[in-house]
């Protein structure tokens, strides 16, 4: 560690070691309902447009993970909730963070409303009235479609299925409803007050979201923070100052972390000591690092600039391949010329995606 123009400087290896440690990947802990809840809160939420993504992200970080651990936390204990949060993403989040996550979806809620205004002949007030008729629920996406089709006065084709999904998002982003079972087209929703016994009151709290982000994914460049939280860089800078965050130099690039983590960055573990693991395409670590620079050098070309992000295979703390799911097979595409050793590749999927069989492709 040194200083550059008065700024603390660190190596990319130190930065990646701390990133893997804080995001739960350096040393998997024993899985239980309580450890699942703690990990989800630590990460600020886990993407769950497909529940299998959440299961895979947790399996990569928890030894002996069972899907029942997450399902109990969601459906029985209700410590975790599946809802729409920051950047309009469907997330599994801790109940304590639900007000801030719902508030973070406010801008997307406005955009969804505009989309629906353009695709439906039903104004927002009428949409809210019809959705209210479905509450307290539970109801499915198909129930929403049937109820709205009675009131549509469109010419030509019926609206695409995504319209009805956005209607649910619109209500969820206001804290009106929450997921209560099923997955995909079989997902069910009900009134938040019925599910929890109380309403979710949206509470904008960028400080909370930023402190969670920096706690799980440090050190982070300003552009990554702003992109992930969906707020302007100027607002991030103000909140960083309020939190007393510290700017450091990582091999010539500026990054931020909480002051209490400076000592941890200095003593960060070696990334090479990290066990092998496979991460799903929407893992929190991948979402938290949109620039990809923090994941390793030369990775920009391995990820598409648009469209669905592939999953990643990590061996000795490095991304060595990307993968895509084809039924029960993971089609693994190595990055560069080196081919991952078969034993290490098998170990990576055994940890994060045990139901998939890896197959190398070029």
pLDDT band (50, 70, 90) for residue 298: low
DSSP 311: E
Which one has a higher pLDDT value, 133 or 185? 133
Looking at the DSSP bridge assignments, the partners of residue 92 are 46, 82
CA distance 314 to 295: 10
**Residue-wise burial string across 244-260, b where 16 or more C-beta atoms lie within 10 A, e elsewhere:** ebbebbbeeeebbbbee
Q: What percent of the chain has pLDDT over 70?
A: 91
Single out the residue of 6, 1, 11 nearest to residue 253, CA to CA.
11
Measured N-to-C along each axis, helices 33-43 and 67-75 cross at an angle, to the nearest 10 degrees, of 80
Please state the rounded mean pLDDT for residues 65-77: 96
Beta strands 29-30; 62-63: pairing state = parallel
User: Residues 233-280: pLDDT tens digits?
Assistant: 999 999 999 999 999 999 999 999 999 999 999 999 999 999 999 999
155 vs 74: which has the higher pLDDT: 74
Q: What is the pLDDT of residues 204-224, one digit of tens each?
A: 999 999 999 999 999 999 999
Run of H or E residues at 120: none
> CA 111 to CA 88: how far, in whole Å?
10
Contact 219, 265 (CB under 8 A): yes
Per DSSP, 181 falls in state E
Question: Is a pLDDT exceeding 90 seen at residue 115?
Answer: no
For residues 116-127, give the mean pLDDT.
Answer: 74
What gap in Å lies between CA 48 and CA 174, rounded to an integer?
19
Which CA distances in Å does 45 have to 91, 199, 268, 362? 6, 20, 24, 34
- Give which of 280, 254, 299, 274 is closest to 22, Cα–Cα: 274
Report the predicted TM-score, pTM, of the whole model to 2 decimal places: 0.90
Q: How confident is the model at residue 142 (pLDDT cuts 50, 70, 90)?
A: confident
Which residue matches tokens 């899907």? 67
> What pLDDT, on a 0 to 100 scale, did the predictor assign at position 154?
47
130: buried, middle or exposed (CB in 10 Å: 19+, 13-18, 0-12)? middle
CA geometry: angle 34, 37, 42, nearest 5 deg: 125
pLDDT at residue 5 is higher than 60: no
Of residues 319, 341, 318, 287, the one with CA closest to residue 57:
287
**Structure confidence at residue 120 (pLDDT):** 65
Among 4, 11, 6, residue whose Cα is nearest residue 296: 11
User: Across all residues in the chain, what is the average pLDDT?
Assistant: 88
Cα 347–Cα 352–Cα 357 angle in degrees, nearest 5? 65
Q: Which range among 47-61, 98-112, 304-318 has the greatest average pLDDT? A: 47-61
Structural tokens at position 356: 């998939």
Would you say residue 4 has pLDDT above 50? no
**How many whole angstroms separate alpha carbon 81 and alpha carbon 79?**
7
Alpha helices by DSSP H, listed for the chain, are 12-22, 33-43, 51-59, 67-75, 98-104, 106-119, 124-134, 141-149, 161-172, 192-196, 206-216, 222-229, 233-243, 262-266, 284-288, 342-352
């Amino acid at each position: 560690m040194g200083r550059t123009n008065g700024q603390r400087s660190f190596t990319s290896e130190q930065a990646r070691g701390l990133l893997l440690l804080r995001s739960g990947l350096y040393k998997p802990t024993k899985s239980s309902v309580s450890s699942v809840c703690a990990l989800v809160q630590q990460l600020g939420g886990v993407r769950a447009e497909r529940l299998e993504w959440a299961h895979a992200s947790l399996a990569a970080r928890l030894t002996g993970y069972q899907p029942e651990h997450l399902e109990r936390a969601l459906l029985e204990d209700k410590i975790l909730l599946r809802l729409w949060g920051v950047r309009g993403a469907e997330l599994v989040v801790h109940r304590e963070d639900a007000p801030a996550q719902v508030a973070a979806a406010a801008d997307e809620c406005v955009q969804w409303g505009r989309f629906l205004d353009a695709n439906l002949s039903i104004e927002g007030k009428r949409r809210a009235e019809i959705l209210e008729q479905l509450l307290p629920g539970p109801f499915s996406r198909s129930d929403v479609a049937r109820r709205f089709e009675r009131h549509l006065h469109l010419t030509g084709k019926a609206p695409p299925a995504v319209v009805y999904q956005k209607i649910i998002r619109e209500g969820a982003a206001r804290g009106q409803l929450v997921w209560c079972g099923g997955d995909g087209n079989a997902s069910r929703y009900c009134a938040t007050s019925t599910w929890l016994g109380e309403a979710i009151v949206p509470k904008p709290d960028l400080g909370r979201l930023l402190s969670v982000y920096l706690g799980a994914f440090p050190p982070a460049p300003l552009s990554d923070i702003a992109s992930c939280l969906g707020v302007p860089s100027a607002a991030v800078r103000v909140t960083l100052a309020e939190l007393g965050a510290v700017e450091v130099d990582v091999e010539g690039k500026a990054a931020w972390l909480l002051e209490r983590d400076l000592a941890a960055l200095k003593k960060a573990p070696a990334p090479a000591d990290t066990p092998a693991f496979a991460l799903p395409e929407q893992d929190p670590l991948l979402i938290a690092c949109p620039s990809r620079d923090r994941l390793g050098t030369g990775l920009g070309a391995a990820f598409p600039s648009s469209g669905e992000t592939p999953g990643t295979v990590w061996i000795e703390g490095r991304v060595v391949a990307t993968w895509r799911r084809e039924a029960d097979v993971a089609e693994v595409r190595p990055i560069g010329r080196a081919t991952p050793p078969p034993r290490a590749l098998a170990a990576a999927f055994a940890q994060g995606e045990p139901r998939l069989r890896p197959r190398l492709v070029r």
